[in-house]
Structure 1
């Protein structure tokens, strides 16, 4: 199963390199696009769920690394939840 990484820029200009066990993340984001925080979280949750389910279909168990990555993203996003203008930019995909 092809895995990939993707780079994010948070509202405070910090960056994160994130993991996906599937290329499905490319179906949900466009590099160079900044998404409002709620939209970003909805997309990343759905993409991560699909990716984890693809791992389950192939190996018989969900991807714990994907779950951990999603938790890290949600923890980071919590820092900006009080900012209605918060946007997360998807900088690039790294395959």
Structure 2
């Protein structure tokens, strides 16, 4: 269950490195792809839930870091709510 980081470019051009306790993000995101804001949020929720569940299965407790990352994503996404055509680009995924 390798820790994985993925770098995104938000619709405002800012880049951010995001964290996952699991490589599950590679199942939902692909470097070089852009995702509509709503789709990015849905994929992020699925990824962080799966990652937290994998941690729970292995160690017996949910991953608070995954849920904290999801909280930050959800907060950041609100800046772009309602912007037609806004996308989030996945720039890189690394372990």
TM-score by length of 1: 0.97
Q: Which runs of 5+ in 2 are unaligned?
A: none
Aligned-pair CA distance for 1:82: 2.0
- For residue 79 of structure 1, give the secondary structure of its aligned residue in structure 2: helix
Is 1:22 the counterpart of 2:22? The answer is yes
Aligned-pair CA distance for 1:42: 0.7
Structure 1 stretches of 4+ with a deviation exceeding 4 A read: none
Partner of 1:35: 35
Q: Give the Cα separation in 1 of the matches to 2:21 and 2:84.
A: 31
The aligned length equals 95
Q: Give the Cα separation in 2 of the matches to 1:15 and 1:59.
A: 32
Is 1:47 the counterpart of 2:47? The answer is yes
Aligned-pair CA distance for 1:87: 0.3
Q: Which runs of 5+ in 1 are unaligned?
A: none
TM-score by length of 2: 0.97
CA RMSD for the aligned pairs?
0.7
- For residue 23 of structure 1, give the secondary structure of its aligned residue in structure 2: coil
